[in-house]
Structure 1
Amino acid sequence: MDTSAQTRHDVVIVGGGLVGASLAIALERIGVDVALVEATPAGALPSVFDERNLSFAEATVNALAALGVLQQLQAPGAPIRRIHVSRRGDFGRVRLEAADYGRTAFGQVVVARDFGQALEARLSGLTHLARYRPARFLGLGQGDAGSRMLRIGDDSGERVLSARLLVAADGTRSAVRAALGIDAEEHDYGQALFVARVRAERAPDGTAYERFGDDGPTALLPRADRHYGVIHGVAQADADAVAALDDPRWLARLQQAFGWRVGAFLESGPRGRHAALRVRAMRTTAARAVLVGNAAQTLHPVGAQGFNLGLRDALTLAELIEAGGDPGADALLAEYARRRQSDRERTLAFSDGLARLTADPAPLLRPLRSAGLLALDRLPALQALLVGGAMGYRGDVPQLCRGTQA
C-alpha cells in the first residue's frame, strides 16, 4: 500500500454516534489531535438519533454537563425522581425515591434526536477535531510500532489515515472489531423492542416505570413534553403482527401489558423496531486499538445501562490519555482494560440476568421473583446497591461522572 499520502492523527475514532462523538468532545479538552470518521454527511444525524428516549444516569448527567453538551439541548430533559418496578403476574414491587438518597433525581430522560443535535452543536465548535464525513471504514493497513493505519472511503475516493490510537466506536456490528480479529459472543433474547412516544391520561410526574412480562419489559419513561417514552418487548415470533397493528390496537396491547398506573393510553407516535441482543467482545484492546460503547458490549436495554456504560468507557479512556504520554501505548491500554473490567462485567451481568429472569414464565420462579421484589422494596441496604448502579456509580468511575473537573 502506498502510504505517502497518509494523514496523521493522535487518535482516530471510527463512529460518530453517541459514544464516539462524546469521546471526541472529551479529548478536545485535552488538546489531542483527533479525527472522527462518520458515516453520515454534514447536516444529517446518524440513525441512532431518532425518537428513542435515552435514560441518563446521574453520573452521565454530571459528565455531559462538564463537557458542555447538556447546555446545548434545545429541549430540556425530564428528571427521573422515582423508579417503579413490577412484574405482571407476580406479587411485590420496588419503589425508589430519589429524595430518600438526598437527590432531586436519579437522572434524566432525553430524546435521542435532541441529544444528537446537542452533540453536533458541541462538535461544530471543536478546534482540534478533523471530521471525515460521509466516510466508511474500509480496512486496516500495515502500520508500525508507533501507529495504526486504516483505509477509509469518502467522496474523494480512498485515503489512508495514521493513528497513534484507533478507537472503534462503530456499534454492535463493528467493522473495526472484526478487522482487528477480536471475536465477540452473542445472545439473541428472541425479542423485538418497539419504541414510541405515547400520551396518557395522567401526565408524567417524574416516575420511570419498568413492567416485566413473559415476552419482555414494558418501560415508560417521563418526557419533558408531557408524553412518555415507551419501550415494549414482544416475542420475536409476534413482532410482525405487532408492527402491523393500527394505533388503537397498539395502544390496547400496551394497556394490557402495562396496566392503568398512568390511566388510559390515548395517543401514540410512530413506532421504531429493534432487536434485543447481547454482544460482548472477548477483549476490548489490541495493539494501538481500543473498543468502546456498543463495539465493546451491547446490552439488552432493560435497566437503561447501554449508553451510560459506553460513556464511562469513553471518559475513562480520555482520562488516561490526559495523564500524558503515548495514547496508544501498551501500558495505557492495559490500564484501560483493568479499570473498565469491574464496571463492564457487573453491568453486563446485571442487564443479562434481569432480562432473562424477568422474562422466564416458569411457574416456580414466580414466588422467588415476588420474594425478591418484596425484599428490595423493604430492605434499604439492597436498595442502596441497586440505586448506586442505576445512577452510574459502579466500579472505577471517571472523575467527570463524579461531578469533578478532571
Structure 2
Amino acid sequence: MPEDARISSISPRADAASDRHDVLIVGGGLVGASLAIALERAGVGAALVEATPPGAMPAVFDQRNLSFAEATVHALNALGVLQKLQAPAGPIREIHVSRAGDFGRVRLAASDYGREAFGQVVVARDFGEALEARLSELPALVRHRPARFIGFDGIEDGWRVVRLANADGEYRVRARLVVGADGSDSAIRDSLGIEAEVHDYAQTLFIARLRTARAPDGRAFERLTDDGPTALLPRGDRHYGLVHGVAAADAAAVAALDDAAFLARVQRIFGWRAGRLLGVGPRSQHSARRVVAARVVDTRAVLVGNAAQSLHPVGAQGFNLGLRDALTLAECIAGAGDPGAPALLEHYTARRREDRERTLAFSDGLARITANPAALLRPLRSLGLLAIDRDSSLQAMLAGGAMGYRGDVPALCRGGAA
C-alpha cells in the first residue's frame, strides 16, 4: 500500500492543517504551554499535543505553589500570561533560610538589590487557567487534544514522523522538530532511547495552604531538616503555601494525622517565624526525585522542562529552569529556516549548558548537604550560613540565582524583547 494511502487509512485527521507542523510540542503542562505561546510570539507555526480534553486542566495544575523568579515574571509578563491571572500573586520581598540543629541563618532582602521583590508566588491552578486563556488567543496554534504520543515512525525528507492516538484511533503527523515537554517520566525521552539518571531522595513533600495568625508580609521561609525542607511561601490570598518534607518512611503516618496534629507537627519543626499556624487546607503529597536526561537533543527532537531535568524542589528552581529552556529554544528557532536543523540544536544545547549544569548542581547539592544528619557537617553548615549572611558577594550570587539569572539568560527573562 502506498505510504500516503496507509496514513490516510489510519488517520482521522490527516489534512494539511493538522498533519505537518514546524514544531510539535508533546505535553501541555507549564513548560509546553509556555513554549507554544513563545513560539507564536516569534511567528513560528506550532502544534500542541495535550492529554486532557478542552475544558479540563492537566493534573499538574493543582494547588501547588509555584515560586516564580524575577526572570520568570519578566518573561511571563512579556508573553501576556500573568495579565490573565484571576487571583493575586504574592510578592517575595525577603528570603529567610535556616536549618534545624544548626546555628546561623541567611536573610536576603530584595531591597538590598534595588528590587521590590525577588519574584512572585502563584498557585498552579491559577497559572494553568491563565495559560489556557492565553493559548485560546493564539489563532495559528494547532491543538491535538485529547491525544497521546504513541511513538516515532522514523524520519522522512527532513520530517520526523510521530504516531498519536485519540478516541478515533491512531494517526500520524510530521514535524520538523518534536519537543518533549511531557514530564519527568517522558515517553518522548524513552522513545528516543535517551537514558536518564534517577535519584530518589527518599522524601515525601506535603503541599497545602496554611492560615496563620499574621498575614504574609512578603517573607518566604525555608527551614531545612534531616528529613527535607519545610517552606512557607507568601501567597497573594493572605495565606502561606506550605511545602513540608518528611522521610518517605514516615509519609503514611504524617498523611494520617488530622489537621490539628499536622499543624502542631509543622509548628514544632518550623518554629514561630511566621507566627501561630491556625488552619490547613487539603493536603497533597509528592515524592522528591531527581531525573536528569543524559542528553537533551536527538535528530529533530529536543527535551525541555522536566523531561530534560527534574529537580528537588528545595530552592524552587524547577519550573524557572524549564521556562528558560523553552524561551531559549524559541529564541533559537525564531527566524531559522529549519527549526530542527542539527546546527540549531547544537547551538541550543550550548546556550543551555551553563544554566542547566549550575542549577542542577545547586539544587542537588543543597538537597543532599542540608538533609545529611552527620554530626561533623553541623558546624560546617553553621559556618557556611554565617559566612553567607555576612558576605555581600556570596549573598549577591545567591540572590542572582534566586532571581533566575544564571548563564545565557533569554532576552524575555531580562525584560527585553526576543
TM-score bracket, shorter-length normalisation:
over 0.9
The 5-angstrom pairing of residues 301-320 of structure 1 reads: 301-320=313-332
Partner of 2:379: 367
Q: Deviations over 1:210-254 (max 9, x none)?
A: 000010000000011110000000001000111111100000110
Partner of 1:376: 388
Deviates more, 1:147-156 or 1:387-396: 147-156
Aligned length: 406
Distance in 2 of aligned mates of 1:373 and 1:19: 33
Cα deviation, residue 173, structure 1: 0.1
Residues 1:220 and 2:232 aligned together: yes
Partner of 2:268: 256
Pairing partner for 2:301 from 258, 269, 289: 289
Cα deviation, residue 141, structure 1: 1.0
The 5-angstrom pairing of residues 71-86 of structure 1 reads: 71-86=83-98
Q: Is the 8 A contact 1:80 1:105 kept in 2?
A: yes
Tell me how large the CA RMSD over aligned residues is: 0.9
Q: Is the 8 A contact 2:204 2:287 kept in 1?
A: yes
The 5-angstrom pairing of residues 4-403 of structure 1 reads: 4=8, 6=14, 7-403=19-415
Residues 1:3 and 2:7 aligned together: yes
The one-letter amino acid of 1:68's match is G
Distance in 2 of aligned mates of 1:248 and 1:145: 63
Structure 1 residue runs of 4+, over 6 Å off? none
Distance in 1 of aligned mates of 2:205 and 2:230: 9
Deviates more, 1:318-327 or 1:95-104: 318-327
Aligned partner of residue 274 in structure 1, secondary structure: strand
Cα deviation, residue 30, structure 1: 2.0
TM-score (norm 2): 0.96
Q: Is the 8 A contact 1:32 1:128 kept in 2?
A: no
Q: Deviations over 1:247-278 (max 9, x none)?
A: 00000110111001111111000001000000
Cα deviation, residue 156, structure 1: 1.9
Cα deviation, residue 308, structure 1: 0.2
The one-letter amino acid of 1:291's match is L
The one-letter amino acid of 1:299's match is L
Aligned partner of residue 367 in structure 1, secondary structure: helix
Q: Is the 8 A contact 1:169 1:291 kept in 2?
A: yes
Distance in 2 of aligned mates of 1:280 and 1:323: 30
Distance in 2 of aligned mates of 1:23 and 1:3: 28
The one-letter amino acid of 1:3's match is I
Q: Is the 8 A contact 1:209 1:221 kept in 2?
A: yes
Aligned partner of residue 7 in structure 2, secondary structure: coil
Cα deviation, residue 323, structure 1: 3.3
Distance in 2 of aligned mates of 1:47 and 1:23: 18
Aligned partner of residue 194 in structure 1, secondary structure: strand
Cα deviation, residue 71, structure 1: 0.3
Distance in 2 of aligned mates of 1:312 and 1:404: 14
Aligned partner of residue 33 in structure 2, secondary structure: helix
Distance in 2 of aligned mates of 1:138 and 1:328: 21
Cα deviation, residue 405, structure 1: 1.1
Distance in 1 of aligned mates of 2:344 and 2:88: 37
The one-letter amino acid of 1:166's match is V
Cα deviation, residue 145, structure 1: 4.3
Identity fraction in percent: 71
Cα deviation, residue 128, structure 1: 1.3
Distance in 1 of aligned mates of 2:96 and 2:112: 14
Aligned partner of residue 202 in structure 2, secondary structure: strand
Deviates more, 1:261-270 or 1:55-64: 261-270
Distance in 2 of aligned mates of 1:273 and 1:281: 24
Q: Is the 8 A contact 1:10 1:165 kept in 2?
A: yes
Unaligned runs of 5+ in 1: none
The one-letter amino acid of 2:199's match is H
Q: Is the 8 A contact 1:94 1:377 kept in 2?
A: yes
Q: Deviations over 1:323-376 (max 9, x none)?
A: 322000000000001000100010000000000000011111000000000011
Cα deviation, residue 11, structure 1: 0.5
Q: Is the 8 A contact 2:7 2:171 kept in 1?
A: no
Q: Deviations over 1:361-402 (max 9, x none)?
A: 111100000000001101000001111111000000000000
Aligned partner of residue 63 in structure 1, secondary structure: helix
Q: Is the 8 A contact 1:209 1:219 kept in 2?
A: yes
